Structure 1
Amino acid sequence: MFSSNYTNKDDASIWEDFKAGDRSALSYMYFRYAKLLMLYGRKISEDHQMVEDCIHDLFFELWKKRERLGSTDSIKFYLFKILRRKITESLRKKKDYISHEESHVSGFARSVENQIIDKQTDKERQSLVESLLLQLNDNQREIIHLKFYAGLKNREIADLLDMEHQSVKNVLFRTITKIRKYLQQHDISMPW
């Protein structure tokens, strides 16, 4: 798998080792982030093979260009941002970009929906949760996913989505308030 030399290092140190040509740093980054990148990529596009290809291209190109790369203190954020750009470019090239918004919305809806529904066994509750998620716009769904499922910080989300930091905080606050209110109105308890 990957070297345990990196488990106690911070991202900035791992990144510098990678840029210096350390193949074990590349392996560590791949094994640590590939699955998360795949999950995130599948929220953007339902074409799983294209997402996988984009991830492989991402690591290949990073290795090729490593000496010219800048510094980072968050490898995960850096990789998410590049992957998002690569998938968007690939969708545009395939002329599938027109349906991107629809698949984007449904991808995020299914992801959040499945995780919530797994905790609910009652068909009525399942229907109420689906209704709630349909009330969220694609931006709200993506921010919720990046915050709670990908574990990104508000500033990282803002940079990734080209938004102001305060706007991300506002969207999160309003969305969480909306979710809580809806769940309380329909007597649905959630572990968070």
Structure 2
Amino acid sequence: MDLDDIDIIKRIHASDVKAFEWLFHHYYQPLCLFANRFLNDTELSKECVSDLFSYLWEKRETITVTISLRSYLHRSVQNRCLNLLKKKKIENKYVDFVMRTGLINDRAYQEKITDVYYSKELAQKINEAIGQLPDRCQEIFRLSRFEHLSYKEIAQKLALSPKTVENQMGIALSKLKQSLNRFLSFWIFFC
């Protein structure tokens, strides 16, 4: 089957499975190689491209392509890769934060953090624990730890007293330590 961009897009809009299969077989491998240039992880690259094709099929009736199909697919993969890298950077910040602040002070726990799978799971647990903080407490914590603002700067930004900011940070750290210690105790016991 030799189709031009307009034909393939029209046929996919009309739910033509054969056209979609042609698109997949024609572009999957090159897009995986392209994704791997960003991610340097073959399996993650395949997953990223597979997710794109799933998305394309789910949204086939509403997707608008205003550039060449090849360019559209490459740009879509590039954007997905950059989003994955941004997410990974945030996860790494969470793990780094836990290590720096001493929320985990047991040497065995710290050694476990070097395990890639564990680091990813820990980052997820940290994110969940932060998400369980009260809204204002969460906001203050994020400004302090991820935007590196001083208590005074946070107080000015949120129209609070520095003492309130300090108290909220104390609450945040205490709650995070409780949440993470439960997770870490569970992890060490079962792993």
Normalising by the smaller structure, the TM-score range is 0.3 to 0.5
* TM-score between the two structures when normalised by the length of structure 2: 0.45
* TM-score between the two structures when normalised by the length of structure 1: 0.45
Higher relative contact order (CA 8 A, sep 6+): 1
